[in-house]
Structure 1
Amino acid sequence: MFIRNATMADLAAIAEVERRCFPAGEAATEEEFRERLAAYADSFWLLFEDGRLAAFIDGMATDERDLRDEMYADASLHRADGRWQMIFGLNTLPEFRRRGYAAILVRRLTEEARKRGKAGVVLTCKERLIPYYASLGFEDEGVSSSTHGNVVWHQMRLSFRES
């Protein structure tokens, strides 16, 4: 297993993993990933197994406390010195699941966010995943205002310090 930050050379592989992990209405497009990589590749972690991209996590930083739908599609909203690290996607290919890779990536991103002086990390998830993220230290803040992909999302937060 090997973890590193993403580069533009990883674009096609990232987009393919996203297509395999999320329904079309929820999946980011290749162009959105191109913009994300250009704006915040240092908050985009890839996990490889046997030389193959098996999983990734990404998200921008912002001073806003809550994850808004506009953030998914507009990488220009990223603020490197923002107080909050958002997580937009945590993807693991089906054949690599149940190996702890998602947790490894969440921990890597949160560790980096803490080192960078962020107040914490925010994500949204479906109700069935609340216990999983809670096991990683996130607290459920209830139903999010996000309607991304016409799905009900819960906002979860891992705070490092007072905001």
Structure 2
Amino acid sequence: MIIRHTSMGDLDQMVRIEEVSYPSAEGASRESICKRIQTFSDCFWVLEDNGKIVAFINGMSTNERDLTDEMYDHAEKHDPNGLWQMIFSVVTDPQYRGNGYATKVMEKLLQDCHERGKKGVVLTCKEKLLPFYTRFGFMNEGVSQSTHGNVTWYQMRYTF
């Protein structure tokens, strides 16, 4: 297994994993994932096993402190020199869940972001995932202003 950044050749696999992992109102569209890859492929961390993507995390860099809904579909908001790494998706192919793959990818993302000089990492999650992110050192900042997918999200922040 390797963890690497993405390329356009990964698009079909990532779209499939996103589609089976999130309700349509919450998951990224093929077009959105494609624009993200074109704009910030180095902000995708992909865990690959024998040529197959089993888990990935993606997001963008910005100087904004909070993750906003408009960031999801506006790749042009990415600032490669931004101090904050936003996370849009932390996802594992359903048939590979429970093996610690998302943990491995998150640990690599945090290491890379620290080495890149980021101030920290921000994500939003549902209440049931708060303990997962807290394990890494993310702090719960409470209910997010996000209305993405018409669900309640909590903003989590990891500061270096």
Q: TM-score, normalised by structure 2?
A: 0.98
**How big is the alpha-carbon RMSD for the aligned residues of Structure 1 and Structure 2?**
0.7
Which residue of structure 1 aligns with residue 17 of structure 2?
Answer: 17
Distance 2:97 2:50 in 1: 15
Figure out how many residues of one structure are paired with residues of the other and give that number: 160
What is the correspondence of 1:1-163 to structure 2 with a 5 Å cutoff? 1-160=1-160
* Displacement after TM superposition at 1:95 (Å): 1.1
Q: Percent identity?
A: 48
Q: Deviations over 1:2-52 (max 9, x none)?
A: 211100111111101100111110010010011100111001011112321
Q: TM-score, normalised by structure 1?
A: 0.96
Distance 1:98 1:113 in 2: 25
Unaligned runs of 5+ in 2: none
Runs ≥4 residues deviating over 3 A = none
Question: Match for 1:121: what amino acid?
Answer: V
Distance 1:42 1:149 in 2: 26
Distance 1:73 1:41 in 2: 15
Unaligned runs of 5+ in 1: none
Question: Match for 1:40: what amino acid?
Answer: F
Q: Give the 3-state SS of the residue equivalent to 1:156 in structure 2.
A: strand
